Amino acid sequence: MTILIAQISDQPLDEAAHRAAVDDPRMGAELAFVGRVRDHDPDAASAVVALEYTAHPDAEATLRTLAEQAIGDADVRVAVSHRIGRLTVGEAAVVVAVAGAHRGEAFEVCRTLIESIKHSLPVWKRQVEADGTTAWKGLGG
């Protein structure tokens, strides 16, 4: 197992840098997941214009632990980042890149990692709507 990037960042996330980090000629499968801010939410009364992400000081260490758990004993390379701060529609909030010898293993690690990030990473978001309404989302997992 190799974790090449596991970071919380207030800077825009670079999908190409994550993919480059996991690039390895021994790996036959490489994939990336990008979670972006979208312009709608079922609970929103108007269009979503931004998400404001806040992280616990231990979030980066937790992200590394979640990556380790997702990998288990799989022979994969992983690069993962979550952004904090104010993000507008279309900006990447999370990037996960995984390379593995086989696609099944790479897909499984990627899916497990993104699900554990959603449910266990101590990062919270406040949704901002076009009409000025705000709401905290995802508190309590």
- Whether 24 has a pLDDT exceeding 60, the answer reads yes
Q: Where are the domains of the chain?
A: 2-136
Give the separation between CA 100 and CA 22, rounded to whole angstroms: 9
Q: Cα angle at 55 between 118 and 61, to 5 degrees?
A: 80
Could you report the per-residue pLDDT of 41-64, keeping only the tens digit for each?
A: 988 889 999 999 999 999 999 999
Instruction: Give 2-136's CATH code, choosing from 3.40.50.1380, 3.40.50.1220, 3.90.1170.40, 3.20.20.70.
Output: 3.90.1170.40
Q: What is the pTM of this model?
A: 0.93
> Which band of pLDDT confidence, cut at 50, 70 and 90, is reported for residue 141?
very low
Q: What percent of the chain has pLDDT over 90?
A: 92
- Please name the residue that has the structure tokens 């190799």: 2
Q: What is the pLDDT of residues 103-114, one digit of tens each?
A: 999 999 999 999
